[in-house]
Chains A and B, each alone.
Chain A
Amino acid sequence: MDICVCIKRYPSLGSAIMLTDDGMAIDTDKLGFTLSPHEECAVEAAVQLKEEHGGTVTLISMGPEGVEEQIREQFAIGADRAIWIRSDSTDIDPQAAAKAIGDAIEADETAFDLILLGSESADNANAQTGVRLAHRLGRPVATAIKGMTIADGVATCERAVGTMREVYRVRLPAVVTVKDGLNIPRYPSVPGRIKARKKPIDEVAADLDGARIQLKGLTAPIRESKGAQALGAGDEAADALVDVMKQIGVLS
């Protein structure tokens, strides 16, 4: 089974967000980069399917230089090769992004049985690229999936709704967008990291249509400290906490 996983490079935000002076982007100068939990689960699922059914795992990522770091990390987990769609930014209009990814998939010599994406990106959360890609490629799609098994050319997909699960069956070749919690992604092994250095990354140029959603500006909602009231420590704190619980009405 040949699987393609779309991944994206994001800044690791930590606890505070700093914007650039023009307010049009996050200032990433002092930040490291990572994948989103959804995408880490997508890669893990692909590698598990490869281990079970055989086949290959191809990564696709769009963005400027630097994304190689995230690609090599996922090579170390078990992905085999990558297609890097070079673009100036990762802040791409979702319509244009889906088209560019669709073009790259069609141009590739591998006929992918399954294309996995995160259900929404960690940053812009447009929650539509997977569906647009499915239409572009003429394939069925299931979205926001937290459980998946594949047998006889059919993906049985579960979407979590509270403690219940809705079950969808999707005939391959298909597109599935997944959520954090699908599995617990493994850590890369040392031999995995060594192999990762030599795995191939094919670069293609992005042919991006004009954006129809034009960013005017970003703001971080006011995040002044609430000025937490200190309740001390030990027995004193426990007494104070019980008082707070009584005040709120969660303890009689």
Chain B
Amino acid sequence: MILIYADHDRGELDPLALQVVSAARGLDADVHALIVGPNAEKCIDDLASAGVLTVHHGTNAAIDDYTPRANASAVVTVMDRLEPRAVLAAGTPRGSEVLAHVASIKDLPLVTECSEIALTGPGTAEVTRARWGGNLLERSEVSADVLLATAQAHAFAVSEDAGDAQVEAFDVPVTDADLEVSIVERTGAAETGVGLAEAKVVISGGRGMDGPEAFGMLEELADILGGAVGCSRVVTAAGWRPHAEQVGQTGTKVAPDLYIAFGISGATQHIAGCKSAKTLIAVNTDGQAPIMTHADYAVVDNLHTLLPVLIEKARAAQGA
């Protein structure tokens, strides 16, 4: 039996939870899911339609929003009762946080960001996981009676299965320490304009932009194409653009239809964030820059003279 920890935010199931169900079904048909907190009814339906046989719904009057350690306590409760062979979660900040708490409580190893998982024997498993933001793959053997793992986003395709799931409600046992850290507030505005992570077109600038001024031209081009502006780490470290626009291993990972890299050399830190783009265009004065090996189309030219012309022609084409 495989247990998955399914996260939700105020009743909205984490879409990656369905991919985790697929990962679990690849190991064993007997898949149980755990969901914690109020407003989980719709999530339970969603999990059933992905092939989960039993959904354990843990509640406690003291849990009204995401509370990492209380959620871990719920996982441990179900683990102790059902003795699953593996517990899986999504490779998100919450998924790895909850399983890290579980791993600490149960003194078990935890493997994160797995793209392949195989149970190879009693107490052993083999996984493939990402290192260096996916620039390197690690194959490892894990020794544990219960495998704890998070699944890399988009490594497992969602499978449909219009089944019904049995729902088992239970009380989550919590201590004061379990309840100490939880979401107390949400701030910030909802997304305005096109969000970088979901954008179909990303127009990015790097060191070759020579300062914050030329980014105005990237904004213009992004506007015409209905896209978002991105940048490399050099740019945020210099304070030219806000960190929210950084594409890369320690920034946002994007997967647009079109990615244009203006004046970006192509360090692994940056490639980790843009390698999923369907089409990549590199504009650089250096035809030998590493970004060129990742590009579908290359323009070896000065971006400062190219951009005004390109904007004019793109605007004319859009208006035509």
A interface with B by C-beta (< 8 Å)? 13-17, 26, 36-38, 93-95, 119-120, 122-128, 130-132, 134-136, 140-144, 146, 158-160, 162-171, 179-181, 184-185, 212-221, 223, 225-226, 228-235, 237-242, 244-246, 248-252
Q: When the two chains form their complex, are residues B112 and A165 in contact, meaning their CB atoms are under 8 A apart?
A: no
CB-CB under 8 A from B243, the residues of chain A are 146, 180-181
* 3 residue pairs, one from A and one from B, having the closest CB atoms: A181-B243, A15-B290, A131-B100
For the complex, give the distance between the alpha carbons of A231 and B309 in Å: 15
Q: When the two chains form their complex, are residues A164 and B187 in contact, meaning their CB atoms are under 8 A apart?
A: yes
Question: Which of B20-28, B41-49, B137-145 makes up part of the contact surface?
Answer: B137-145
CB-CB under 8 A from B249, the residues of chain A are 122
Q: Give 24 A-B contacts (CB < 8 Å), ordered by A residue.
A: A15-B266, A26-B136, A37-B237, A124-B131, A124-B138, A125-B112, A126-B112, A127-B100, A128-B96, A130-B100, A134-B104, A166-B66, A167-B184, A184-B237, A212-B109, A212-B144, A216-B139, A228-B295, A228-B297, A229-B298, A230-B299, A240-B299, A248-B278, A250-B226
Known A184-B237, A245-B314; judge A217-B295 contact (CB<8 A): no
Q: When the two chains form their complex, are residues B186 and A250 in contact, meaning their CB atoms are under 8 A apart?
A: no
For the complex, give the distance between the alpha carbons of A136 and B266 in Å: 40
B interface with A by C-beta (< 8 Å)? 66, 68, 93, 96-97, 99-101, 103-105, 107, 109-113, 126, 130-144, 150, 177, 180-192, 195, 197, 200-201, 224-227, 233, 236-237, 239, 243-244, 246, 249-251, 257-258, 265-269, 271, 278-282, 290, 292-301, 305-306, 309-310, 313-314, 317-318
Known A13-B132, A128-B112, A140-B180; judge A237-B257 contact (CB<8 A): no
CB-CB under 8 A from B139, the residues of chain A are 215-219
CB-CB under 8 A from A217, the residues of chain B are 138-139
Q: When the two chains form their complex, are residues B187 and A213 in contact, meaning their CB atoms are under 8 A apart?
A: no
CB-CB under 8 A from A249, the residues of chain B are 257
Q: When the two chains form their complex, are residues B268 and A13 in contact, meaning their CB atoms are under 8 A apart?
A: yes
Q: When the two chains form their complex, are residues B267 and A15 in contact, meaning their CB atoms are under 8 A apart?
A: yes
Q: When the two chains form their complex, are residues B187 and A167 in contact, meaning their CB atoms are under 8 A apart?
A: yes
For the complex, give the distance between the alpha carbons of A225 and B28 in Å: 39
Q: When the two chains form their complex, are residues A216 and B187 in contact, meaning their CB atoms are under 8 A apart?
A: no
Q: When the two chains form their complex, are residues B244 and A163 in contact, meaning their CB atoms are under 8 A apart?
A: yes
Q: Of B93, B224, B227, which contacts A119 at CB under 8 A?
A: B93
Q: When the two chains form their complex, are residues B313 and A214 in contact, meaning their CB atoms are under 8 A apart?
A: no
Measured between C-beta atoms, what is the minimum distance from B118 to chain A in Å? 12
- Interface majority SS (helix, strand, loop, mixed), chain B: mixed
For the complex, give the distance between the alpha carbons of A122 and B135 in Å: 11
Q: When the two chains form their complex, are residues A168 and B251 in contact, meaning their CB atoms are under 8 A apart?
A: no
For the complex, give the distance between the alpha carbons of A230 and B284 in Å: 12
CB-CB under 8 A from A164, the residues of chain B are 186-190
Measured between C-beta atoms, what is the minimum distance from A10 to chain B in Å? 9
Q: When the two chains form their complex, are residues A251 and B104 in contact, meaning their CB atoms are under 8 A apart?
A: no
CB-CB under 8 A from B186, the residues of chain A are 164-167
Q: When the two chains form their complex, are residues A168 and B250 in contact, meaning their CB atoms are under 8 A apart?
A: no
- The residue in chain B whose Cβ has the minimal distance to the Cβ of A13 is B268
CB-CB under 8 A from A185, the residues of chain B are 237
Q: Of B132, B143, B225, B295, which contacts A17 at CB under 8 A?
A: B132
Q: When the two chains form their complex, are residues B136 and A218 in contact, meaning their CB atoms are under 8 A apart?
A: yes
Q: When the two chains form their complex, are residues B136 and A219 in contact, meaning their CB atoms are under 8 A apart?
A: yes
CB-CB under 8 A from B197, the residues of chain A are 162
CB-CB under 8 A from B130, the residues of chain A are 125
Known A13-B132, A163-B191; judge A237-B225 contact (CB<8 A): no
CB-CB under 8 A from B103, the residues of chain A are 95, 128, 131-132
Known A128-B103, A167-B183; judge A144-B190 contact (CB<8 A): no
For the complex, give the distance between the alpha carbons of A234 and B112 in Å: 46
For the complex, give the distance between the alpha carbons of A219 and B132 in Å: 12
Q: Of B195, B236, B314, which contacts A242 at CB under 8 A?
A: B314
List 11 other contacts, CB 8 Å, given A216-B126, A234-B305.
A16-B268, A36-B250, A95-B107, A123-B131, A140-B180, A144-B93, A180-B251, A181-B236, A185-B237, A216-B140, A241-B314
Q: When the two chains form their complex, are residues A13 and B135 in contact, meaning their CB atoms are under 8 A apart?
A: yes
For the complex, give the distance between the alpha carbons of A249 and B138 in Å: 37
For the complex, give the distance between the alpha carbons of A38 and B227 in Å: 28
Measured between C-beta atoms, what is the minimum distance from B66 to chain A in Å? 7
CB-CB under 8 A from B294, the residues of chain A are 226
